[in-house]
Amino acid sequence: MDIQDGMEVATFAGGCFWCTEAIFLELDGVKSVVSGYTGGARANPTYEQVSSGATGHAEATQITFDPTKVSFGELLEVFFATHDPTTLNRQGNDVGTQYRSEIFYHSDAQKKTAEDYIAQLTASKTFSDPIVTKVSPAAVFYAAEDYHQNYYNQNKGQSYCHYVITPKVDKVRTKFKDKLKKE
């Protein structure tokens, strides 16, 4: 991935990548969001292979962002507000290690920010159950097949998008309206 000067990268796994991609595309300062696979052992995995749970990869999004407009900490805030970080290997009806909650850090600063934020959420008892989100070094990221990219915006009428993703996007638009891209 070719990162322009001043841009940073964040990689999050929080269940179905269609959901997380749609959410982060809403934020000002986010240049791009790529759906893909990371954290597993197989090179160049396919959606079918990852979906089987046998590759060890998580469905994830890789976010290129301008830290002068949106910080890594703000991305974490949105990440934790839009998925359940207390369920191990599950988000809603999506079950398996490929749907785990994990932050793949790209620097020591990202690692510290993520660990500190999780500690803050834990201390404030934001969630009634313990947070199971892992914090791991960034691994090779494989972009998912083209039909997965920008999936929500191209398939809003599909029932999964309507019932699962739209409420998450609406939540971001309400809770984080000061962080949204200007039309």
Q: What is the pLDDT of residues 88-142, one digit of tens each?
A: 988 887 888 999 999 999 999 999 999 999 999 999 999 999 999 999 999 999 9
Contact present, 46 and 145 (Cβ < 8 Å): yes
Percent of all residues in the chain with a pLDDT value above 90, rounded to a whole number: 82
pLDDT on residue 149: 95
Q: What is the pLDDT of residues 131-172, one digit of tens each?
A: 999 999 999 999 999 999 999 999 999 998 889 999 999 999
Question: What's the mean pLDDT in 25-34?
Answer: 96
Confidence of residue 3 (pLDDT cuts 50, 70, 90): low
**Catalytic residue annotation:** 16
Give 160's strand partners: none
**28-42, 53-67, 92-106: least confident range:** 92-106
pLDDT on residue 1: 44
Question: What's the mean pLDDT in 17-44?
Answer: 95
One-letter amino acid identity for 24? F
Prediction pTM value: 0.93
pLDDT on residue 183: 67
Question: Is residue 179 pLDDT above 80, yes or no?
Answer: yes
